[in-house]
Amino acid sequence: MVEAVRSCPERCAFCLASYVTLPFRVSPVHEMLLPTIDAALKKTNRIGILGASVTQHPQFDVLLSELKREKYDGMRLSIASVRTNTVSENLASTLVKRGTKSITIAVESGSERLRKVCGPIERFVFFENLGLLLLSNAFLIFFVRDCISHIIRNVDHQQEARQ
């Protein structure tokens, strides 16, 4: 396990991690993260990238590009909680290339009420970015909600976003 970031710049109302570990700070990619990953790969082929908001590391795309290199073939990669508004084609393709079968999506919802409580993002961005993962044909996505009606709303909003 390699810690890429500590805290989170979002400061969502439900999330203790972004307040307890302030301020948001990052580990340098070339000076710290890659050397740590290289050292860990001498013991295991499974690498986890940790942090409350890993994909908001300012050099996250640089890290992903490095991890796609042939040098890292055979490595299995997992990434801590991801906000859907930070999902990119680069992230999806890196995860697929590195054998990732699932990711944890931060608490975001098709439900208007939950989006207001949790730190909202625009719902079509949510489903558009989830679509990048689904189109990769490698991910199974689960939604955890406080009641079944939110799951139904998520499905309804996804169908609406497809149109």
Domains of the chain: 2-162 (3.30.750.210)
pLDDT on residue 25? 93
pTM metric for this prediction: 0.70
pLDDT on residue 133? 57
Q: What is the mean pLDDT of residues 22-28?
A: 92
C-alpha closest to that of 105 among 85, 119, 75? 85
Q: What is the pLDDT of residues 40-83, one digit of tens each?
A: 999 999 999 998 889 999 999 999 999 999 999 999 999 987 87
Which of these ranges, 5-14, 31-40, 115-124, has the smallest mean pLDDT? 115-124
Please, are residues 83 and 53 in contact by the beta-carbon 8 Å criterion?
Answer: yes
Compute φ and ψ for 58, nearest 5 degrees. -60, -20
pLDDT on residue 118? 56
Please, are residues 14 and 118 in contact by the beta-carbon 8 Å criterion?
Answer: yes
**SS3 of residue 51 by DSSP:** coil
CA distances from 9 to 43, 71, 140, 159 (A): 33, 32, 27, 31
pLDDT on residue 52? 85
What whole-number percentage of the chain has pLDDT above 70?
63
pLDDT on residue 150? 57
Dist. CA 110–CA 155, nearest whole Å: 8
Q: What is the pLDDT of residues 110-135, one digit of tens each?
A: 556 655 655 545 544 555 555 555 55
Residue 22's pLDDT band, with cuts at 50, 70 and 90, is confident
pLDDT on residue 82? 81
